[in-house]
Structures are given as structure tokens and as C-alpha cells.
Structure 1
Amino acid sequence: MSDAEQKKPTLRSNFEPGTTRWAVRRAQWLAMGYSEEDLLKPKIAIVNSSSKLSVCYAHLDDVCRVVEQAIRDAGGLPFEIRTVAPSDFVTSAGRQARYLMPSRDLLVNDIEVQVEGAELDGMVLLASCDKTTPGQLMAAARLNVPSVVLPCGYQLGGHCAGKEVDIEEVYKSVGSLKAGSISLADLKAMTCTAITGPGVCAGLATANTMHVLSEALGMALPRSAPIRAGSQALMENAARAGAAIVDLILKDIRPRQILTPAAFRNALRVAVATGCSVNCVRHLAATASEAEMDIDIVAELEALNDTPQITTVRPNGPHRIEDLDKAGGCRGVMRELSDVLDLSVMTVTGKTLGENLADVPEPDRTFIRPLADPFRHEPGLTILRGSLAPDGAVVKVSAVPAEVRTFSGKARVFEDEAVAIKALETHSIKPGDVVVLRGLGPKGGPGTVFAASFMAALIGAGLGAGVAVVTDGELSGLNSGITIGQVMPEAAEGGPLGLVAEGDVISIDIGARRVDLDVSESELAARRAMWRAPDHSQIRGWLGQYAAMVQPLSKGAVLKPMRP
């Protein structure tokens, strides 16, 4: 037996000849045109969430074809599988966006059914919109078969009335319309030019954040993120990913060898240094949970207060996502952070992070600063705690107005985002108010309600520096302003957010990392005695199932393991 034959791994997809599983599958696949030789190759899923519902996914079929050919060229047998394809700006229309967060976990189970059911040997995961990338990372962590995440890129904006416009501007301008500062015709004109190509939202919102963090975790190849959708560079990455997955299978390198506590700490360091989306906290926690890893993502993020911000990509500053791409991307950021990263971690290249970074050139200092000379001497993302958020809350410090570091005001309490937006339209929300949007978390929704539209409207109305927002609902990575998100425990779990009354004073101190409800313990005890958890027992369909199974935000809002 040759050395090559001795090193060749046993593939779980190669069933014992003569068995029922072997015979019926052989008949199926030969009928589809596969050869006898094909049936012995590594069998690899290309997880494709292509959909005609959203521009985020419009280009994925073209990417898939490139990955397929690369897998064949490397000696593997590709199988394209389709999954649910949630879009934060399309799938958010129904039930006040309650389907968005649950769609992430639906996608995880979707992948499990198809990959585990067929006992395939590995996966290439075509990552696109906000929920697909974390869902794919979670699936890789759960299934622990060789996997490569392939970030499929960002869209480009356009121009309107002589100004640059993208989806972030459209999002914020809805508030400007409601405030009367622009006309419906102005907004309509912006929508005509805001998106000029396929891919995810421009800016360092949740989708681009999770693309970048996939590379930071070691689950995507170097030079993967951010990257322009439809570009030659993306197609080259697709070919690299197809070759890489075959190599990972032959070397038997699996996600749980890559997704270690050190890898998560590296990713969190990148998130803090770049001012990533607040939603990355729940998604990283969920991925760690699926990997059955004992790590407290919230506490780990909280410990990174010494990391300054070395990029200022919108909504954190003036630069665009394509600037970060051209400046060096994630690997350029990691090069600048190399002194505070664990370089020994394994990656999908089959090499360590240190080996991957060894030949990375110095990034463009206009957009990626060194640690010693950052854009801001504070973290871009951090955790606040206090009497309103004993288990923590997430704030994107980089998107808070620079002049605001403390804020105190009377609570305006809403349990329906539409009602809050109406109050904004009627000017009943005033500078100095703290808007509480509650009962919108995974348990309260059920399925996290998209509170981001109110925040965007607030910015568009010119109140971003004068009104604070505290919520357990889902925010967008595009949001900016004095926004305290992912308040834990959420209101529906009995957290203090559910006890806030209209007119209560809420105090926020960014520097001290505090968010407090200025109400006596005796008064809170009286309110707690009257509080009742929401009853979702009559909700049918997927949202009802999700309500029965979802765990707290601090655990990433993953579904409870169904164990005896």
C-alpha cells in the first residue's frame, strides 16, 4: 500500500457495499450521471441560500458554480443544497420581523437535516445576509464536519442629487421623512439608486461584521472579508474555498479544532477594535454554545476595555466598507492586532493564524490605524451592566455621538415599535427622554422584534444625540446613536427592563460601563410581585415552537438541546 493510500481518511459517506444504504443511494446517484469513481470521492455540501426575494442572495448561484468546479478539480464530489434565506430588509415585513432571529436557528437545523441525513463529508457555506453567516457557523460547530465559510460580499451604493447614497441613508431617511425634512419624492429617488449591485448592506453592519468575524475565527480563508459581491476577487475566493474543503477533509481538520476559546477571544478583539455590530455578541455566543464550549462571550468582551478602535467604517465614522476592503480587510486589522492575538490557533488553511499573517503587508494607515495610534482610545464595542442590565447589555461605543458619555432622562415605555415610531411622528418624544422598547427579545416577541427601525427613524429625525434608547429587541448594525441593546435578562424573562414604569429615571454612563434604573429596591419588589410572564402557549407554527425552546440571550438565544 502506498503512502498516499495509507494517509487517505476513511470517509463516512462511503457505505459498506451490499448494505441497503449503499444500494439505494448508488442507484439514485448513478441515475443522476455520477460515475463509479465519483461515488468514492469526498462528498461535499455547498450550502447555498440563493433566493429571488433579496439582492443579498442574487449572485450566489454564480458563486456556487465556481465552488462546484473547484471541488471537482480537487478530487471531491459537490452537492448543492438549498436552505432558508432570511433577509433583514425583506423577511422583516411579517409579524414585526419576529421571524428574523428564529430563522437563524431554523437554518442551523435545515443544514443538519441535509448534511447529517446524507452523511456528507464536509461543507462550503455560502455566507450572505445577517442570519445566514451565524447560522452557518453554528451548524459547523454543531455538526463538526470539515467546513469552510465563504463570505459572499457586500453591495455597492450609488448617487442621488449629487450625493453618495446607500441602504444606510435610505434607512435613516425614513425618519427624515417623518420629521418633515425631506419629501416622499426625495426618499423614492434615493431608493432608486441606493443599491447598484448584489450583496449585503454596505457598512459595518451585522452581515459584514459576521463575514469579518468568520475570518477572524479562522473559519474563512484569509482575504475573505470584506469583499465586493460579484467581484473577480470573490470568484477567486470561491475557487480557493472549493480546493480548501477537500484538503480539510483529507487532513481531517474539523471546526471544533478551529473554534477554540482562543479563536473566540481573537474574534472578539477584532470586533472591539473595529466597532462591529452589537448583534455579533449573541451570534458568537450561539456559535460557542453549539460547539459545546464553556466560554462566557459577554464576560470575554467585557474584559477587552483596553482595546482601542483602529477603524471607523460607517456607521462608526466616515469610511466605507470598500475602504476597509482595499486597505487590507480583516487580515490587515489582525496584522495590527497581532501582538494581542493568540497566533497559535488553527485555521481552515490548515495553518496557524501566525503563519497566515506572516506575509501580510502593512495596511493602508488611512483606514486601518496601528494600536499605538488609533482613531479612538476606547473600544468600539463593549458591555454595560447595572441595575437595569444585571447580566449585561451591549453598546456600540463607536456609534454613540462623541460628545455623549453620560445620559440621564425619564423613561418613555413602549412594547410595540410601531407605537414608538408614531410617538416620534407626533413629536411626543422629546430630547432628554430615554425610550424603552421592551418585550421584544427572543422570548418576549417571541422571536426578536426588529427595534432597529425606530432607532433609524430617531436618527433621521435629528434626535440621535438627544434621545437614548434601551431595548431587548434586535438592533441593526447600521444603527447609531445612544443605543443600549441586548439588555439581559430580557423583559420576558423577568429582567428589570420589564419593571420600568413611564417616567422612571434611567442613567447611562458609557465611561463607567453602567446602565441603571433609579428606582428603590422596595418599589421594584412590589412591581416584581405584580409582573407576569407573557403567555405564548397559543401561538401556532414556527414562532410557537421557537417560543417553547429558545434560551436566554446570554446563551446566544439558541434552542434548548432536546435531551432525555
Structure 2
Amino acid sequence: MYRSNYEPGTVRWATRRAQWRALGLTDEDMRKPKIAVVNSSSDLAICFSHLDAVAARVKEGIRAAGGLPFEIRTTAPSDFIHSAGHGGGYILSARDLIVNDIEVGVEGAQLDGMICLASCDKTAPAQLMAAGRLDVPTLLLACGYQPSGLFRGEHCDIEDVFLHACGTPGPALTDELTEMSEDAVRGPGVCAGMGTANSMHIVAEALGMALPGSTPVAANSPAMWRAADRAAERIVAMVEEDLRPRTVLTAAAVRNAVRVALSVGASINTIKHLQAVAAEAEVDVDVTALYGELGASTPLLSAVRPNGPHTIEQFDAAGGARAVLAQLSGLLELEARTVTGRTLGQDLADAVVADAEVIRPGDRPFSRDPLILVLRGSLTPLGGIVKLSVDEERPETFTGPARCFEGQEDALAALASGAIAAGDVVVVRGLGPRGRPGMGMASQIVFALDRAGLTGRVAVVTDGQLSGLVNRGIVVGEARPEAADGGPLALVRDGDTVHVDLPGRLCELRVPPAELAGRHAAAGRDHDERGWLSVYERTVRPLSEGATLRTT
């Protein structure tokens, strides 16, 4: 009945039985559905520090439901910890390493299903990608956000520490950062706010891959433990029903997820992650185009920090993802199936919005304009991404001379020396998935410009990755194609005129085509990567394809 079971008397059966008997398993155990509990536990970061306890609880629940759990470990990347090496190249690339970790553990052992413990930014998208690739019954369990602290009487979380650290170095700043970092994080879980982790947990529920009402959730809260118990019971039933991810991960589900991401002002990283999930599940959708197409008709129903005034705790108490889905139901494809075995419409039949000021109805949104914009034009022909906030005032257009840098470090040095001035368009290239490799962060230069009083007085265009939360001023990130793939960004020279038009969704390089035709791409930096990053560089596909790994 189960693919994990082999005919008694065969070599595979005998060797497995010998191994598993030594683990204390009985013949009765070995006949049960075998469920992987995918765990990215690590002592390196607080976001993963509670997962061993969650895994233990889930394994108990699987046993109680008649299944046999096996814990599968993966790498556990944390942006704030693992970005220290190789210019941040290990962050996005670790997403795909997790996918392959899961494949080895689950597909190699021919397990029957998996429940994935989702935590920091790259784990949830990686787990969804693995679900799409392997197509064995899968359920995502969001393991919660961390409690935040206070700094001199005001809310303070890890993102506040990061933003403050982009200020002018000196003893006063060091003292303030020391004080802030003492209390910014008060327990395990992912970053508070509508960053990539909480965004992807919500997206997982919108896709139908997490149980209704399970996202977001406070780490180690009673609600998280209840969700763990429900998930453990449900995954065994999903194996019995043979309910597979590709039944859930459809084009309709992806469109629903894009609607929800737009309605909560989600991280811009949801674009590439959703495209990667679609690629692995072989769903033919252009996610970048969907953000552009659906943005105009999708109201902003919540404004969680830093998009607006509310906290993730308030959003959770108001009903979370399920309440957003209910408020958006008139715009959703409700026939999409979910891991419950029902349709999305059926799942939402008894949904409750506990606070309509925090999660508003469609006729009274925080904004009718999207916070995530897709800009196209001669500089970003396949799209560049802009993330806005509800209340920030910024110019709608910007035209200025380019100041070009081959990486964030060069741009920061130029800013420190006074070489970047009001009116400039700061072009930071060579940070894309292949250019870094692994995709470098460009957020530090954005926030350093803000600290220097240049927000709104300069613009930034980069092929690098930006903060999953928000960016100050006019900032166009993830320019596609990236410079290393021959994108127009590689042809920009100091003094070239760059024009950005947010209402018109344009990002243009105003240089005559004949002049561009005679240029050679900027040299970029020399690569001397070995090991994993060299493998990633050779196999990564463009961002427009989700930056997944392919050899053909």
C-alpha cells in the first residue's frame, strides 16, 4: 500500500528491517505510513532554536495517528548570521540546498509523506519547492514569530537593530546598539513584522499547503502547539488519501497566493520564491507578471510593521491569514483545493475577522494602490521590484545621472567619502544569483543613504536582493536580467541618464541604442568560488525562473 514497504524476503526489505530493528522498531511499526519530519534546527540562530521540541511533539502526534515518523535534518540558514560569509551568497543559495537535503532524505528513503517545520526566511519556500518537486503528501507547519522587546520605551525588534546599525559609526552608536540588542529578541521564532518569514508562512496557507488558521502564530504559544497536533494527525490522513502537493499547487493556488501577498504588503522575496515553487511543481505561471496584473485590483487590507502601524501580534489576533482570505474571498479562486482535502471556499465558510481595523474589508482598505510594484523598461526589461510603505512620502519619478558600483562595498565607501550626491542614481550591480554568486544583499547601502539624509534625493537600481520588509525612497531591486547574465545593468556607465517612474511602472536607461550597441558589459568582479557556491553559480537559473537550479 505504501511506497516505503517492500516485499518480505527481498534484499531491500531485509536490509531495512535489520537497520530499523536496531533502532527499536517492530514489524508492526514498519508496516505503517512513514512520515518525514523535516527539521532545520540549529544552535546558530534563535529562529531555529525551538524546533527540536516542535519535532518531538509532531512525532508523538504522528505515532498517535498511526504513522511512523522519521526526523530529517536540513541546513538552517539565518539571514542575520549566514550573510557574513562571501557577501551574503549563502543566503538564497541555501534555499536550494535545503530542497536537495529534503530530496535526499525523503526520496532516497522512499518515505510516504512529510511535515515540514517552517521557520526562518528560506525554509518555507524551500519546503514548498521540495513538495512540488517530490509530490509526496506534504504539509507545512509554521513554527512562529519571536517576541520583540523595547528600546527606551519604544517597540524594538531585530529589524530595528539592523536599521539603526546602518548609521554613522562611533561610540554613541555602539552604545545604542548594545542597549538595543540586549532586548530586541525575547525568545525563539522568526523576525517580527511582515518580513519574508511571516510573509512566506502566510503564503503557504494561501496556497493551501498549511492548515487553515495556522499562520502567522507566536512561537511556542498554545496556538502553535495546537497547530502542531492538528498537522501531525492530518499528514497521516493525507498519506491515506494520497493527497499530493501537485493537486494543491495549481495555477489558481498561485494566483490566490499573489492576491494575499499583495493584500498584506508582503516581502518582495515572495515573488522569486513563488516562482521557484511554481517551477518545481511544473505550474506554468509568470509570478512577476501576476504581481503587476493583480496589483491594481487587490486592496491593501493590513498594514503590519513596517508597512504601517500594526504589529504581527495584532494581525495574528485579528485572524491572521484566514481572516485576510475571508476578506478577499470575492477576488479569490475558491475552488482551489487545500491540504484539508476541501476547497478553499469550504475552508473559509466559518472564518472570523476578529478586528476589522487591523484586517480591513475590501471596501475600506489601507490603500487601493499596491505596495509591491513591478517596473519594466529598457533598464529592467524582465522586471525590477519596488517595495513601498503606506505612509512614506517619496517622489513618484526620478531622473538623474548614474553612479555605478560593482558591489555594495564600493557604494558604501563612495558614500562615506562624499562621492554620492543628491540627484544621483546609485547603480549597484553584480549582486544577482549568478553575479555574487548566491545573490548579495543591497539593503545596507539603501539604509546608509537614508541615514545620510539622501532618501528621496537619490534613487537606487540594483540586481541584488533587498530587505524583505521595506526600503526607503525610490529603490528598484532584483533588476532582471541581472548584470552577470548580460542584462542592461551591465552596460550602464557613470553619467548615463536613468529614469524611474513609479506610476508608469518604468525603469529606463536613456542612452541611444546605437551607443549601447558599441559598449561591452562591465567586467564585474572575479569569481574564485569553490564548493557549494561554485555549483550554484554553474546551475542557477535566472530570477525570472525563480532562481532554481537546472543543468539544462
Scaled by the length of structure 2, the TM-score of the pair is 0.97
1:266-297: CA deviation from partner (whole Å, max 9, x where unpaired): 00001111111111111000110001121111
Q: Is the 8 A contact 1:470 1:485 kept in 2?
A: yes
> What are the residue-to-residue correspondences of 1:524-563 with 2, within 5 Å?
524-528=516-520, 536=527, 539-561=529-551
> Of residues 312, 316, 319 in structure 1, which corresponds to 2:303?
312
Partner of 1:116, secondary structure, is helix
Aligned AA (1:419): D
For residues 365 and 551 of structure 2, the distance between their equivalents in structure 1, rounded to whole angstroms, comes to: 43
CA contact (8 A) 1:385 1:515 kept: yes
Counterparts of 1:504 and 1:531, CA distance in 2: 14
1:500 and 2:488 aligned: no
- Asked if the contact 2:388/2:471 (under 8 Å) is kept, the reply is no
Contact 2:443 2:471 in 1 (8 A): no
C-alpha distance in structure 2 between counterparts of 1:464 and 1:376, whole Å: 22
- Give the C-alpha shift of residue 224 in structure 1: 1.6
Mapped pair 1:332 → 2:323? yes
Aligned-partner Cα distance in 2 for 1:226–1:38: 34
Aligned residue in 2 for 1:192: 182
Instruction: Write the letter of the residue equivalent to 2:260.
Output: V
Deviates more, 1:112-121 or 1:180-189: 180-189
Q: Secondary structure at the match of 2:440?
A: coil
Q: State whether structure 2 residue 147 is matched by structure 1 residue 146.
A: no
Q: Give unmatched runs, 5+ long, in structure 2.
A: none
What's the counterpart of residue 293 of structure 1?
283
1:463-482 matches, within 5 Å, as 463-481=454-472, 482=474
Q: Does the 8 Å contact 1:278/1:396 carry over to 2? A: yes
Kindly tell me: are residues 203 and 427 of structure 1, through their superposed partners in 2, closer, same or farther at Cα, counting changes over 3 Å? farther
Amino acid at match of 1:189: E
**1:280 pairs with 253, 270, 295, which one?**
270
What letter matches 1:527 in structure 2? R
Equivalent positions of 1:29-68 (< 5 A) are 29-68=20-59
Rounded to whole Å, the distance in 1 between the matches of 2:4 and 2:287 is 35
2:164 to 170, 173, 198: 173
* Equivalent residue letter for 2:337: M
**2:224 paired residue number:** 234
Provide the rounded CA distance (Å) in 1 between the counterparts of 2:3 and 2:88.
40
For 2:130, give the aligned amino acid. Answer: A
Do 2:322 and 2:351's aligned partners in 1 also have CA atoms closer than 8 Å? yes
Per the alignment, residue 27 of structure 1 pairs with 18
Q: Deviations over 1:212-240 (max 9, x none)?
A: 10111000111121111121111111111
Deviation at residue 385 of structure 1 after TM alignment: 0.5
- Tell me, yes or no, if structure 1 residue 406 matches structure 2 residue 397: yes
Aligned to 1:255: 245
Alignment partner, residue 513 of structure 2: 521
* Counterparts of residues 124-143 of structure 1 (less than 5 Å): 124-143=115-134
Please state how far the C-alpha of 1:408 moved relative to its aligned partner.
Answer: 1.9
8 A Cα contact 2:366 2:390, kept in partner: no
Q: TM-score, normalised by structure 1?
A: 0.95
Q: Is residue 379–residue 398 contact of structure 1 (8 Å, CA) maintained in 2?
A: no
Q: Which amino acid letter does the alignment assign opposite residue 165 of structure 2?
A: V
1:484 corresponds to which residue?
476
**What is the total number of aligned residue pairs between the two structures?**
550
Q: Distance in 2 between matches of 1:426 and 1:175?
A: 16
Distance 1:398 1:108 in 2: 32
Amino acid at match of 1:106: L
Per-residue CA distance 1:436-469 (angstroms, 9 max, x = gap): 1111001111110121222233334443333322
3-state DSSP of counterpart to 1:46: strand
Amino acid at match of 2:222: Q
Give the whole-Å Cα distance in 2 for the aligned partners of 1:363 and 1:533: 52
- For 1:217, the equivalent position in structure 2 comes to 207
For residues 191-222 of structure 1, the C-alpha deviation after alignment (integer angstroms, 9 at most, x for no partner) is 11111111111111111111110111000111
178, 192, 204: which one pairs with 1:202?
192
Shift of 1:400: 8.2
1:74 maps to amino acid: A
User: Structure 1 CA distance, aligned partners of 2:157 and 2:525?
Assistant: 38
Percent identity of paired positions between Structure 1 and Structure 2: 53
Q: Which residue matches 1:85?
A: 76
C-alpha distance 165-358 of structure 1, shift in aligned 2 (>3 A): same
